[in-house]
Chain A
Amino acid sequence: MVTAAIGGERPVRDIVPGDHLCLTFADDAEQRPVVTEYLSAGLSRGERVLCFVDRTTPGIVLDWLASTGVDTGAALLGGRLRLVPAADSYLASGRFDAAAMVGTVRREVDASLAEGFSGLRICGEMSWAVRESVGTAELARYEREVDAVFAGRPVSAVCQYDARLFGPDQLEVLDGCHRGSVEPPPLRGHDSLRLVPAGRAGRRRLRVIGTVDDRTHDHFVAALDAVLHRPGDVVLDLSALDFIDVAGLRALANAAARLGGHRRMRLAHPAPVLCEVVRLLGWDRTPGLVLLPEGDVA
């Protein structure tokens, strides 16, 4: 049996038995593809899929699965797919009890394997913890203890943390209680321009790879639009940006100006010529735009 490696980021397709991974998502675009691929792959392998749902309701999860061709009705009837609300799992006793929940997960694993399933995939959304004011230490204790339940068994788990609800410091701690992170899906790209999320948990950066010119301009603008609503600062790592034209710089300045409040667009590792052109245009004075030639994103 392939054993789960410790640490690092990996795409959903590389999740192996024993894995207990953290998914930090900032919007549907980051959550949906991961959850859908993880669950539907389990179903197609004949494994049982257990989903602890919360803000993302059972109806939404079923729609996601159905859109990939899964016969959700049959899976539910056959007991291969189970959707359990937080109130009946994490909060079954009326409040969160880490030890009790570890016991619940252990019983689910034992029962599924006893029933003859070749494996079990567990996907839990943790948003309720913010609503119930459960402390980071309590959640971290749960995540560390539940990890042992999966080790060495044909079972894996993905815990979903919403970066719009949890702060970056919290996410850093919680992400560290897992065997690794699920790699977020890249944004819609182009042959010569890719925008790839990098960095862990709540300290996500977007690596801009390739060229922004006449040909890729619309893709670039669409990608910026897609990340603007995400919580916190928008951090773009430009170290692999080969070229950007004036229209692309205008798109960056416009996006920064739209952030509002105390949010910033931080450009890490901008090329010297990029900084020079931004200054010639006076766009270095755009509210919300921060150039970080040294790449310091702190």
Chain B
Amino acid sequence: MTGAADARGLIHQGLLYGADEQFLAATVPFCRDGLERGDAVLAVTTATNADLLRDGLGADAGHVRFVDADTWYDTPGRTLAAYHRYVDERADGDGRVRVIGEPVWHGRDDLAVAEWTRYESVINLAFADSPAWIVCPYDTRVVPERIVDDARRTHPDLVVGSLAETSPAYLAPALLTTGARRAPAVAGEGGAVLRFGSDLAAVRRFVADTADSLGLSPTRTEHAVVAVNEVATNVLDHGGGSGWIALRRTGGRIVCDVADDGPAPLADWFAGYLPPAPGQRLGVGLWVVRQLCDLVEIQPRDTGTTVSLHFDV
């Protein structure tokens, strides 16, 4: 791994471990090496692993910043934004910004797992030019096998012990689209549909009234109104100029699909994950939408795009 430290640009590695010793064999040298070089080191992991790592590092642990994974891995959009802020604030020197980032998989349903998998993939784009070195541990004792398989596809490199090797299964983010699992549309109760054109006030009223009647809290309803308005504005400004909105409740989520009438796909599936450059106009709205919602799926179709916004009730 020493050689990798001298390369520029993102290093994004999966660490598939089946024993505590394997976790420590990779993470302890990663932290130590970084501290010796003066790199900032952040460890986002479980409480158990944090204790293991602290013991392994001894006195050096005081120089590593520890954050609890359940808090950090909130929603893909917010987590990515938080990483961006963290890296940006520390990326001005020659060194690297080192991160151990162990995503949370327990308690996630298929839909959330699919989007967090896309999140892992989009890291490769979002931080492509940044001096971040991100190691993502996957505990093969508890993480389902299909998620571990996805880790091989979303991480360009895999760490074994203190060495890294190329992951043969890795797919560039653009190629992951076809492999992503889209949740099938589930018919919900009490849903409503609105066709919309240029009148966004009507869109906002529809979202506010429907979300409220479906049981979304007033604050989250305000977030939903802002988010849907941004997506609908994109449809007016850059899409087909008209579309439809469907709001429904499926289990513990309010789901809002915003679809435009084409003619061409409006956005890539990862739009809004990449932070807007200063002065950039397009994509700023979706950057906000990703952070306001609990999950966002962007599904380009042959004609038009469907953007699904999810809000936990």
Give me the interface of A with B, judged by CB distance under 8 Å.
192, 211, 213-215, 243, 245-247, 250, 271-273, 277, 280-282
Contacts and interface: CB of A to CB of B under 8 A. Distances in A.
A246 B285 contact: yes
Interface stretch (B116-124, B137-145, B286-294): B286-294
Contact of B284 (A213, A214, A250, A271): A250
A213 B223 contact: no
B200 to A, nearest CB: 5
A191 B31 CA distance: 60
Interface in B195-248: 198, 200-201, 204, 219, 222-223, 225-226, 229-230, 233, 236-237
Given A245-B230, A246-B230, A213 B200 contact: yes
Interface string B273-290: 000100001001101100
11 contacts: A211-B201, A213-B201, A214-B198, A214-B200, A245-B285, A246-B284, A247-B285, A273-B223, A277-B288, A280-B81, A280-B288
A211 B226 CA distance: 12
Contacts of A214: 198, 200, 233, 236-237
B191 to A, nearest CB: 24
A136 to B, nearest CB: 44
Contacts of A273: 219, 222-223, 226
A277 B225 CA distance: 12
A280 B291 contact: yes
Contacts of B223: 273
Given A214-B233, A243-B204, 20 more contacts: A213-B201, A213-B229, A214-B237, A215-B198, A243-B225, A245-B285, A247-B233, A247-B285, A250-B284, A273-B222, A273-B223, A277-B226, A277-B292, A280-B81, A280-B287, A280-B292, A281-B284, A281-B287, A281-B288, A282-B85
B208 to A, nearest CB: 10
* B interface SS class: helix
A212 to B, nearest CB: 11
B230 to A, nearest CB: 6
A281 B85 CA distance: 11
A211 B201 CA distance: 9
A211 B225 CA distance: 13
A252 to B, nearest CB: 13
Going nearest first, the 4 A-B pairs with the smallest beta carbon separation are A273-B222, A246-B285, A280-B291, A213-B200
Nearest to A277: B288
Nearest to B289: A246
B284 A215 contact: no
A245 B229 contact: yes
B203 to A, nearest CB: 9
A271 B222 CA distance: 10
B81 A243 contact: no
B216 to A, nearest CB: 14
Contacts of B225: 243
A214 B285 CA distance: 12
A273 B218 CA distance: 11
Interface string B64-90: 000000000000000001000100000
A281 B226 CA distance: 14
A192 B81 contact: no
Contacts of B81: 280
Contacts of A211: 201
A213 B291 CA distance: 20
Residue from B85, B225, B233 with most neighbouring chain A CB atoms (10 Å): B233
A277 B226 CA distance: 9
B242 to A, nearest CB: 13
A245 B233 contact: yes
A277 B229 CA distance: 13
Contacts of B200: 213-215
A243 B292 contact: no
Nearest to A214: B233
Interface string B103-136: 0000000000000000000000000000000000
A247 B281 CA distance: 8
A32 B13 CA distance: 67
A214 B231 CA distance: 12
A138 to B, nearest CB: 51
A250 B276 CA distance: 12
B77 to A, nearest CB: 9
Nearest to A250: B284
Contacts of A215: 198, 200-201
A36 B287 CA distance: 49
A272 B226 CA distance: 12
B288 A243 contact: no
B98 to A, nearest CB: 23
Given A214-B236, A245-B233, A246-B230, A192 B285 contact: no
Contacts of B201: 192, 211, 213, 215
